[in-house]
Amino acid sequence: KRSMAIGTAGFTAMLAVMELEAHGVTPDSGPVLVTGGNGGVGGVAIGILAGCGYEVHASTGRPQLADHLKSIGATEIIPREELDVVPERPLASERWAGVVDAVGGNTLASILPQMKYRGAIAACGLAGGVELNSTVIPFLLRGVKLLGIDSVTCPFEQRKAAWDRLAIDLSVDSLDAITQVVALDDLPDLAGKILKGETQGRVVVDVNA
């Protein structure tokens, strides 16, 4: 059940964290932002990062679920609309050392000017759109790194390393807190909720229930 709860979303989250680490982001570097905190990638990423000692900020379009995000490790909750804007300036005050971004679009464009010097963003989603309305200034003046996360065709060695890390760095309590189990007969109703963005975390379908 827990392997399926992790799924592709959790695997992607682990790849993103590993890329941030490989590019110098540590708990001492400063806060790390997770966008789409109530989604599958976001929920697992928060659990992993918090378990590894990072200060985790999480953005969400559902502020009523802020207490849930804090319960799995986030220390600061940022409303989605605060980031869903085209930045007015190429640079802003330095805020985050690392980002796991599952949203893209205006959110990613808004984050780039707020990155700390030599910070890194692991881009792994496009819930907010595929366009990136930004400038190269954060890359040139702050050495910001934009890292693409590919969970589909990454090498076997990298896959094994990610699953090995998940077994160590993602607590079962954190995973269980973002997982719900439903029966096969629940799928028609669940599909409608997914399309409306009304679900959170991970859903495991028990085909025998």
Q: Name the CA radius of gyration of the chain, rounded.
A: 17
| CB neighbour burial string for 75-96, b if at least 16 within 10 angstroms, e if fewer | eebbebeebbeebeeeeeeebb
Greatest CA separation found in the chain? 56
Distance CA 147, CA 160 (A): 20
Q: What percent of the chain has pLDDT over 70?
A: 100
**Mean pLDDT of the region 112-136:** 97
- Show Cβ contacts of residue 42 under 8 Å, excluding neighbours closer than 6 positions: 13, 34, 35, 36, 58, 60, 100, 102
Answer for the pair 58, 41: CB distance below 8 angstroms, yes or no.
no
Confidence bin at 174 (pLDDT 50/70/90): very high
Please give the model's pTM, rounded to 2 decimal places. 0.95
Amino acid identity, residue 140? L
Answer for the pair 16, 110: CB distance below 8 angstroms, yes or no.
no
The predicted structure's pLDDT at residue 198: 87
Distance CA 188, CA 205 (A): 12
Distance CA 135, CA 139 (A): 8
Q: Tens digit of pLDDT for each residue in 51-87?
A: 999 999 999 999 899 999 999 999 999 999 999 999 9
The predicted structure's pLDDT at residue 87: 93
**Mean pLDDT of the region 136-155:** 97
Reading the block at residue 120, the tokens are: 């890194």
